[in-house]
Amino acid sequence: MTAVIDSPTAPGDHAARRPVLPPLRLGPVTIPTPVVLAPMAGITNRAFRRLCREFGESAGNGEAGRCLYVSEMITSRALVERTPESMRLITHDPQENPRSVQLYGVDPATVRAAVRLLVTEDRADHVDLNFGCPVPKVTRKGGGSALPWKTELFRGIVAGAVAEAEPYGVPVTVKMRKGIDDDHLTYLDAGRIARDSGVAAVALHGRTASQSYSGQADWSAIARLRETITDIPVLGNGDIWSAEDALDMVARTGVDGVVVGRGCLGRPWLFADLVSAFAGGASRVRPSLAEVGAALRRHTVYLVDFYDGDEHRACRDIRKHIAWYLKGFPAGHEIRHRLALVDALSDVDELIASLPADAPWPGAPAEGPRGRAGSPRQVALPDGWLDSRELTGESARIVAQAELSVSGG
């Protein structure tokens, strides 16, 4: 891909560069560039992680460009039951190092069993625990961003996961939000509990569950957590749309690294920008439409491999990415519509060939927010969930039932 140098410093002039941050250390695991691909449901499967990783490593000449690429959220119960889809979701490429898996669960025993499976069968080098998901089907069962409100339940899940992973040298981290809403903030308490339970790092998305992805991420909350938790790494997440945003977050919050989610949708080369930026470089990828088309095709090919040669399933998966890849480019409605209906790799090839390949990077129209932001809403919670920070009564029954009703990955 084409790199544009935005300063007199040449991309190979390493003597002129000063890294912005030291490598991120998660127990025995070292991440040379302190950047994490956020787990995103239906997005961060093995194919997308591979694409992002290749861009990042190309910018850092291999090892120096290594970031942490986390799987999409895996349901602990489904993993323990070894459902076919959950087993697919925890697969990694041979070159993927470290192998990172994010788990979701609401029962300490089930989460422990899932972690035990991962570490005893050597399926992961890092485990992340999801306490940030704001999706109603998760929070109404007491999971995701709703769960830290129940402090002892949260402690039990985190401590249990650490106890299973620690003997195998596998670090456990926690990803969370500020809380349920502005009246029910949990992140400072949860950060302390996670630290005291032995996690290797905590990551904070600077929004509440009620915000979903709307409004602006509260970086001041991330800074406050960094000031509160000083003995393990704290990572910041939210509104990182460019390498410059990542550097700005570090400068304003003091975090030890950043977590990038929606900013890389349709822009896997963002990791090349981030690797360059954190190394003190100025090179940024500004692809032509032909180069974007090539990345889109490579993504599709990797999805075919992920789905064991099933082109139709791979093409159904790539459809949701197409608008993100073409954001800001002069691809007409008809082309976009046809791309959204592709069923085979030959369809992808035919339509990419019809794009105006010489169209340059459009600049501002292709930058900034991407993905659905949604709007603020009341969080779906189990009945009586906010009455107490202890797990009792009907809330306890709903949580127990949630683990029994899981199907799929």
Per-residue model confidence as pLDDT tens digits over 176-224: 999 999 999 999 999 999 999 999 999 999 999 999 999 999 999 999 9
Supply the DSSP string of 212-275, one letter for each residue.
TT-S---HHHHHHHHHH--SS-EEEES---SHHHHHHHHHHH--SEEEE-GGGTT-TTHHHHHH
pLDDT for res 4: 58
Comparing CA positions, the residue from 208, 108, 203 lying closest to residue 162 is 108
Per-residue model confidence (pLDDT) at position 10: 40
8-44 residues labelled b (16+ CB within 10 A) or e (exposed):
ebeeeeeeebeeebeebbbbebebbbbbbbbbbeebb
Structure tokens at 281: 């470089």
pLDDT at residue 17, rounded to an integer? 67
Tell me the helix, strand and coil percentages in the chain, rounded to 5: 45, 15, 40
Q: What is the pLDDT of residue 403?
A: 72
Those residues of the chain that have pLDDT short of 70 are 1-17, 62, 404-409
Name the maximum alpha-carbon separation found in the chain.
65
* pLDDT value of residue 399: 83
Catalytic residues: 133
Q: What percent of the chain has pLDDT over 70?
A: 94
Helices then strands, counting H and E runs in the chain, come out as 15, 14
Q: For the beta carbon of residue 88, count every other beta carbon within 10 angstroms.
A: 14
Q: Pairing relation of β-strands 179-181 and 100-104?
A: unpaired
For residue 126, the SS3 value is strand
pLDDT score of 333: 79
Q: How far apart are CA 292 and CA 269, in angstroms?
A: 10
Contacts 24+ apart (CB under 8 A), 313-316: 314/47, 314/345, 315/342, 315/343, 315/344, 315/345, 315/347, 315/348, 316/343
pLDDT at 348: 92
pLDDT, position 400? 80
* Start-to-end C-alpha separation, the chain: 35
Q: Tokens 């609401």 belong to which residue?
A: 106
Tokens of 248: 């700005």
What tokens were used for 154?
């949260």
